[in-house]
Chain A
Amino acid sequence: MVKIEGNDFPDDLYFHRDHMWVKVEGGNARLGYNDWAQSVAGKLVNLSTRKAGRSVKAGKTLGTVESGKWVGPLKSPVTGEILELNEEVLKNPSLINEDPYGNGWVAVIKAENLDAEVGELIKGSDKEALDAWLKAEKEKHGI
């Protein structure tokens, strides 16, 4: 597993530039919020998402997350139908802070175009690309 300045980036996941992670599970994609993003956002207090059964496009808003008084969008890295939402996380979004890659997963998407869309993401095993991306993010965010 790659650890970048204290934040985890597991090898078997793919990372979207808008801070969601993707785990490929057959033809489905399990999504969550990455460790760095959750640590920068702080304790998450609210999460609202589109409903299961609805479809979402890559790069479009899957939901909205609130931490303290900050509200920001969660962008889906993949296109498809929302098969399942993590009810526990909807009730208690701070699970994302506690365990972003495990119990803090957000949704499972029945992906329409998984191979191509995953190809656009950064592999967890590609340390150089992760480093470069996070460095750019930090500059952009003034960290």
Chain B
Amino acid sequence: MESWRLIDLGYSEPLVAQTFYEAVAEAVHRGTSPSTLILLQPGGPYACLGYHQDLEKELDVEFCREAGLPIVRRSQGGGATYLDRDQVFYQIVSKGSRVVPRDVGRMFERLLSVTVETYRSLGVPAEYKPLNDVVVDGRKISGNGAGLHETASIMVGNVILDLDYDSMARVLRVPDEKFRDKMASSMREWVTTLRRELGEPPSVEEVKQAYSAAFQEALGVELVEAEPSEEEWRIFEEETRPRHTSREWLYMEPPESQRREGRSVKIAHDVKVVEVDHKARKLIRVRAETRGDEIVSVQLRGDFFAIPKESVATLEEMLRGKRLDEKELAETIERFYRDTGVQIPGIEPPDFAEALLKVKSLT
């Protein structure tokens, strides 16, 4: 049976909570530390940015500063998020382990079986949803990311005891408050927590015990409790902390793929809230909630006017459940014009289709 190290860091300052595993990964890569499971809780709230994201586009930096919220850019992908003491983080760092497939899909499937089992043992019927989600009745209940550090592989994620939906929506940069409201309500709909599922969440100690037990059971390994090595703390203080607190790191230039027009916030697995502008002779501003390439709901605004003016609401209603597909959109929009006899000066039917297809480029 493989023996793994278990490090329980307890409540840790945000930078340690979010980045200490990188120092462990360096030691594991060097071969001076064994494969390791780290469990911890953030010691206080902070905002966390995905590796490739554009800081100022994603986060309301002024708000974070005023509220005294640290901002940490993680080394893993995905979207900006708000984290606090109501979560337990698990960070799995391994090298050459027979229980951790290096193929990303397989690794998520294997390691997330531990998360699924943890929730189940706490009384929540969680399920694995490929690629990297754990859901309850289709709602996300755990966020997960993975990466490589040289020869060490890393998977990190959380067990969500409770979630402050309003703070989550507050730290993100949004075009306006209505967008924020839409985002918060979408999160309430698509992201759940132990508190919501059970009424009262278990204690963090219970969660960590459940996770350790599931880890040993599902992976067939033995966990041996230990402290981080002196070398790991040294790597953290000399390399990890300085890198993560540098201006270059935090304000890292985002890749071209992030410099798209419009605003898109990922809520859970394939659900997004998106806003795009499309300039025809008049401006069309589309705000949509999407699930994959399906329109869950959509709002159409801009400086155009429709006669009769109620007809825009009809179009919004007709677009619900439609796919972001050129043909399907064109047909729906044509039918809308035909059925309502609407007139919209400065806007032709293909303009709506083009505006909606811009949403697709952001999903």
Which B residues lie within 8 Å of A71 (CB)? 51-52, 75-77, 145-148
Q: Which of B125-154 contact A (CB under 8 A)?
A: 131-132, 144-148
Q: Which residue of the partner chain, among A42, A69, A87, A91, contacts B78 with CB atoms under 8 Å?
A: A69
The distance from the CB of A122 to the nearest CB of chain B, in whole angstroms, is 19
Q: In this assembly, does B255 line the interface, its C-beta being within 8 Å of a C-beta of chain A? A: yes
Check if A72 is an interface residue, CB within 8 A of chain B: yes
User: How far in angstroms is the closest Cβ of chain B from A139?
Assistant: 10
Partner of A42, one of B100, B105, B145: B105
Known contacts A40-B105, A70-B145, A142-B101: A46-B255 contact under CB 8 Å = yes
Interface centre among B106, B132, B145, B257 (most CB of A within 10 A): B257
- B144 near A69 with CB under 8 A, answer yes
Residues of B within 8 Å of A47, CB to CB, are 255, 257
Which of A42, A66, A91, A93 has a CB less than 8 Å from the CB of B51?
A66
Nearest CB in chain A to that of B257: its residue: A46
Tell me if A73 is interfacial: C-beta within 8 Å of chain B. yes
Cβ-neighbour of A68 out of B51, B106, B131, B254 (below 8 A): B131
Cβ of A143: which chain B residues have Cβ within 8 Å of it? Answer: 101, 103, 106
Chain A minimum-CB-distance residue to B148:
A72
Indicate with 1 or 0, residue by residue over A24-43, a CB within 8 angstroms of chain B CB atoms: 00000000000000001110
| Chain A residues close to B by CB (< 8 Å) | 40-42, 45-48, 64, 66-73, 87, 90-93, 140-143
Known: A71-B147, A142-B102; 13 extra A-B contacts, CB below 8 A, are A42-B105, A47-B255, A48-B253, A68-B104, A69-B76, A69-B77, A69-B144, A70-B104, A71-B51, A72-B147, A91-B256, A91-B259, A141-B101
Selected A-B contacts with CB under 8 Å, 28 pairs: A45-B52, A45-B77, A46-B51, A46-B257, A47-B257, A48-B254, A48-B255, A64-B51, A68-B132, A69-B76, A69-B77, A69-B78, A69-B132, A69-B146, A70-B104, A70-B132, A70-B145, A71-B52, A71-B147, A72-B147, A90-B255, A91-B257, A92-B257, A141-B101, A141-B103, A142-B102, A142-B106, A143-B101
